[in-house]
Chains A and B, each alone.
Chain A
């Protein structure tokens, strides 16, 4: 079979792109670094949340704005170099999350909870690590809300799961597997 197609040297969107697999526990130190910086940035301080939405203290606005801007510059540089991920050799997952109609009410609900609880899904975990016990209530609530979404949307799993975070290296994105 001399006409057997060779595998593409840079396969897109699937496990073949990953040269070396990374044990999942390797992501823990990255999370620890992120939690440390969130704390230093003031994103684990309740007063900064209330201050932000009362327009009295823009600390967290600058965190998000500078975070997005720094990320944008870094991503642009990575795209220019076309580099592969250093630890795995996989292509980087630069595909943005797609739009879907539920994004609008979902984002508003998340925002309401953001102000009410004075925390985000990420920062509340760092708060817990700092010893802020109120984080336990919020974490419990986030798990409850997440679980409820799964229960309510369970019959349509094949549809609603589209647009969830995707891993270039670990699973196909547009899987059409039947439920």
Chain B
């Protein structure tokens, strides 16, 4: 059901890297997404996310709000109509529960691991693995490697147990 235009991986990667460089060049900011979730928690009233590094201003929140706009534009320029869908492709449906709500529970759990882990690590795939490695920052290289270890463990376990 995926009819989205997909570039070769390395082409997409060059594009991603150019956005990192463009953000530095125009605004001087280091691209990253996960802390925007902290900003969102702060806006919602979580005291931890209203102090220290999470004190205002919150440009990252606006950057994050742009991401869905970009996703929608990507569909609209793919020559297919935009339509909401529960589709997850061909692989995950073979191992995740068929019921939308049970599957949702798994995704909430996965998201919670991502959210907690990103704050403990100080960044996510964009801030550590892309921007951090572009800066040749050793802690980010370590984080990026450990992200992959975790991903391999959970997916291999998931498919070994349920497929």
Of the candidates A36, A54, A108, A164, the one whose C-beta lies within 8 Å of that of B146 is A108
Query: Would you call B135 and A125 a contact (CB within 8 A)?
Result: no
Q: Which residues of A pack against B, CB within 8 Å? A: 22, 24-47, 49-54, 58-75, 78, 83-88, 90-94, 96-100, 102-134, 137-151, 153-154, 157-158, 161-171, 175, 177, 179
A109-B25 contact, Cβ under 8 Å, with A41-B12, A134-B103: no
- A177 cross-chain contacts in B, Cβ below 8 A: 52
Q: Which of A45, A144, A165 has the most CB of B within 10 A?
A: A165
Interface size on B, residues (CB 8 A): 131
Instruction: Report 11 cross-chain contacts, Cβ distance below 8 Å, ordered by A residue.
Output: A62-B10, A72-B133, A73-B17, A75-B24, A83-B25, A92-B25, A103-B142, A113-B150, A120-B33, A122-B126, A151-B46
On whether the beta carbons of A113 and B112 are closer than 8 Å, the reply is yes
| Known contacts A31-B70, A115-B152, A137-B103; 16 further A-B pairs (Cβ under 8 A) | A27-B59, A32-B73, A64-B13, A66-B10, A78-B24, A114-B147, A117-B106, A129-B71, A134-B107, A137-B107, A141-B113, A145-B115, A151-B46, A153-B119, A154-B48, A179-B51
User: In the complex, which of the residues A107, A120, A130 contacts B71, with contact meaning CB atoms closer than 8 Å?
Assistant: A130
Query: Which of A31, A58, A102, A175 interacts with B67 by CB under 8 Å?
Result: A31
Q: Is the CB of A148 within 8 A of B116?
A: yes
Once A and B bind, how many residue pairs between them come within 8 Å at the CB atom?
A: 573
Known: A99-B139, A105-B120. A137 touches B14 (CB 8 A): no
Partner of B52, one of A28, A61, A93, A175: A175
Inter-chain contacts of A30 with B (CB < 8 A): 19, 22-23, 26-27, 63, 66
User: A110 — which chain B residues lie within 8 A by C-beta?
Assistant: 113-114, 117-118, 120-121, 124, 147, 150
The reply on B79 being an interface residue by CB < 8 A is: no
CA A130 to CA B73, docked complex, whole Å: 8
Tell me, yes or no, whether B161 is within 8 Å of chain A by CB. Answer: no
Contact with A along B46-81 (1 / 0, CB 8 A): 111101111101111111111111111111000000
Cross-chain contact B12 with A63 (CB below 8 angstroms): yes
Distance of A46 from chain B, by nearest CB (Å) = 4
Docked-complex contact A63 and B71, CB < 8 angstroms:
no
Which of A39, A45, A63, A144 lies in contact with B108, CB distance below 8 A? Answer: A144
CB within 8 A of B6: which of A45, A72, A88, A137? A45
**Set of chain A residues within 8 Å of B64, measured between Cβ atoms:** 31, 122, 125
